[in-house]
């Protein structure tokens, strides 16, 4: 049902058949006139809008649903099917179908909510073993992308480095500044980005849209982010909304931002500075309402030195910069993480003291992801007790010499951190605690300096009192 024909009289006074569809076929439905004003609502509408129908009738659809696709429908004359909207804190799957008169002119629209909440439809689609058609795949992808799966409480760790990072992330969440999250692969960037989004929308839900900048070719990424107008290029048979638009008042996560090509870096900088953008092939400015979070595991400083990443974009993105410590920098959290993985999956596992000691000495190049996979492998091998031998065999720690190398490496990490901490403390004191002068003397940005102060747990007051 992508087009409905009715008379202008039926638009004003729906007959029994249309009324029956409105009341019985959907969770909620309404009819709008050509200008987008509500003419009729189903009896279930108050459950969605939190207001009696007497108040809803006569209101413009944008007052009830700020992300309504009605302008798109009016422009294209095509139904907008299977879209997700956050309405009064609830994820809803909607259709909006144009109403035509018998002269083939749009005289209104039929808006319906086919599902309130997304879990039932997601479970239904997962549990049925059939091949999705393209529309079903698109809908399932929207469902997966529209919700945040983690909160900041899901980041496991009691170490000072983790606790300071979580406190800062909570402060960042209540502001609408861009966020740059940096850290090695497997250290938990997705959890922190999800958590900031969830913390930002405690009272109302909003879309959380993820884009992997390395997974989409550069020539397609622009239209994916900004959308495009009908006829903008060969194959653009209809207008498409970009991710910046779909995100609404939610969050858009740009993963692996360091791989963005120079042309898109320039356009992203413009979006950040002017809070607006245009679709490809369009000339209408669309306001940016979403918060942008960027993630990277690459050295942006090196990329800037090599001319591969714009310095002005880095400074604009890193107003709030969060550096996630690698696992080797918070070894005291390893027993807690192992216990978390065992408890979460109800595994019958435990570590001997020698095994736990070796696990805490290992450098974990894959960070928490590698640790989680190690625990899963122990379960797959049906180990009840994880021994030092199991650790050495699984992590390829073959002899005492290699174990001593691991210990030396851990010691080097601690010494480097200690040296870095003293270097920053001395620079701060030499510059009378002035962050700008200190950052300049160390040849780093203010945001990077703040991030390292948090990571290294520098307490200036205590140092000064001494």
Distance from the first to the final alpha carbon of the chain: 76
Nearest 5°: CA angle at 154, between 151 and 160? 110
Taking the C-alpha atoms of residue 217 and residue 263, their distance in angstroms, rounded to an integer, is 13
Query: Which residue matches tokens 């405690």?
Result: 202
Query: Would you place residue 463 in the very low, low, confident or very high pLDDT band (cuts 50, 70, 90)?
Result: very low
Q: 14-41, pLDDT tens digit by residue? A: 877 777 777 767 778 888 988 889 998 8
Q: Is the C-alpha dihedral spanning 211, 212, 214, 215 positive or negative? A: negative
Sheet of 179-182, strand order: 208-212, 251-255, 291-296, 179-182, 320-323
> How large is the average pLDDT for residues 194-221?
82
pLDDT at 376: 92
Average of per-residue pLDDT values in the chain: 81
Rounded to the nearest angstrom, the gap between the alpha carbon of residue 177 and the centroid of all alpha carbons in its chain is 15
Whats the size of the chain, residue-wise? 466
Q: Predicted confidence band at 369 (pLDDT cuts at 50, 70, 90)?
A: very high
Interval 140-172: pLDDT, tens: 555 555 555 678 888 999 888 898 899 999 999
pLDDT of res. 405: 52
- What is this structure's pTM? 0.60
Does the pLDDT of residue 136 top 70, yes or no? no
């Amino acid at each position: 049902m992508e087009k409905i024909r009715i008379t202008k009289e039926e638009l004003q006074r729906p007959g029994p058949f249309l009324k029956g569809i409105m009341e019985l076929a959907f969770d909620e439905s309404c009819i709008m006139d050509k200008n987008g004003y509500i003419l009729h609502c189903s009896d279930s509408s108050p459950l969605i809008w939190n207001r009696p129908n007497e108040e809803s009738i006569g209101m413009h659809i944008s007052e009830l649903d700020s992300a309504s696709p009605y302008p798109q429908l009016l422009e294209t004359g095509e139904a907008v099917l299977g879209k997700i909207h956050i309405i009064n804190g609830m994820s809803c799957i909607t259709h909006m179908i144009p109403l035509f008169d018998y002269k083939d002119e749009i005289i209104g629209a039929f808006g319906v909510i086919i599902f309130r909440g997304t879990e039932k439809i997601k479970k239904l689609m997962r549990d049925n073993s059939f091949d999705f058609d393209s529309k079903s795949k698109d809908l399932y992808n929207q469902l997966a992308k529209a919700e945040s799966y983690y909160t900041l409480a899901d980041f496991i760790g009691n170490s000072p480095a983790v606790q300071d990072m979580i406190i800062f992330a909570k402060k960042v969440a209540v502001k609408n500044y861009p966020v740059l999250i940096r850290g090695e692969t497997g250290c938990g960037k997705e959890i922190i980005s999800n958590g900031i989004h969830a913390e930002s929308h405690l009272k109302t839900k909003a879309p959380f849209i993820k884009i992997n900048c390395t997974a989409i070719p550069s020539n397609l990424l622009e239209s994916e982010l900004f959308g495009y107008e009908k006829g903008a290029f060969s194959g653009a048979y209809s207008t498409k909304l970009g991710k910046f638009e779909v995100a609404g008042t939610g969050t858009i996560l740009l993963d692996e931002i360091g791989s963005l090509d120079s042309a898109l870096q320039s356009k992203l900088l413009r979006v950040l500075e002017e809070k607006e953008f245009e679709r490809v092939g369009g000339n209408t400015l669309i306001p940016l309402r979403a918060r942008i979070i960027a993630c990277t595991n690459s050295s942006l400083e090196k990329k800037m030195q090599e001319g591969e990443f714009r310095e002005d974009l880095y400074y604009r993105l890193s107003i709030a910069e969060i550096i996630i410590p690698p696992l080797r920098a918070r070894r005291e959290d390893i027993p807690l993480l192992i216990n978390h993985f065992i408890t979460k999956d109800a595994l019958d596992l435990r570590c001997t003291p020698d095994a736990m000691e070796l696990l805490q000495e290992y450098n974990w190049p894959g960070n928490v992801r590698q640790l989680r996979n190690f625990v899963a492998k122990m379960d797959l091998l049906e180990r009840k007790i994880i021994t030092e031998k199991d650790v050495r065999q699984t992590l390829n720690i073959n002899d005492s010499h290699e174990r001593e190398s691991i210990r030396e490496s851990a010691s080097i990490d601690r010494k480097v951190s200690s040296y870095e901490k003293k270097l920053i403390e001395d620079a701060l004191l030499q510059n009378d605690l002035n962050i700008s002068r200190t950052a300049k003397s160390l040849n780093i940005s203010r945001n990077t300096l703040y991030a390292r102060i948090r990571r290294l747990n520098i307490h200036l007051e205590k140092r000064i009192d001494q």
